[in-house]
Amino acid sequence: MSVVEAESERLLAAVRALLLEKGITSREEIAERIRITDGGSPAQGARMVARAWVDPQYRALMLADGARAAEAMGIPMRGLPPLGVLEDTPALHHLVVCTLCSCYPRAVLGYPPFWFKSAAYRARAVRDPRGLLSEWGTVLPAEVKLRVVDSTADYRWMVLPLRPAGTDGWSEDALAALVHEGDMVGVSVPSAG
């Protein structure tokens, strides 16, 4: 363990002890929050996307209140920032970035990938989003509007990508298997082939 890691661990232990001493939280609440955070994964977000693709009522809920939609899928959102869901359409594509740090819907998508936190990604997403997408192999037609959305400490975002053509009649599980982490941030798009 490096000196910086050791200092971070010491500081975290001190903050936890202070929160417990002041009665702000309990050991059980801390353990629950760690469990929830560690349980987040892109597979959970993919399940939400697949459900929205096959269930119009769930899709409406997801677009109206992402946190309630997550909770409807068994993903605890209590105490977390609101979750907004951005719907891609044939005319509009969304790209999510946190320009300040790495605000990410962890309960739904898990820990942010290293590239999402990088200064290069954050800068390019704002300065040259189409160029950034092309490096991911995502080339949007010129007529498709690209909207960059900043995820913040106060409001987290994820993308509801377009359902791939040729997937009519597919089960939710089969659809969820098509959805990858980058699709829910907007750097990539799901594909059936």
Question: Where in the sequence numbering do the catalytic residues fall?
Answer: 98, 101-103
Dihedral sign for Cα atoms in the order 53, 58, 60, 66? negative
Q: What is the CA radius of gyration of the chain?
A: 18
H helices of 40-177, in order, are 42-54, 56-64, 66-72, 106-109, 114-117, 119-127, 129-135, 172-176
Amino acid at 136: W
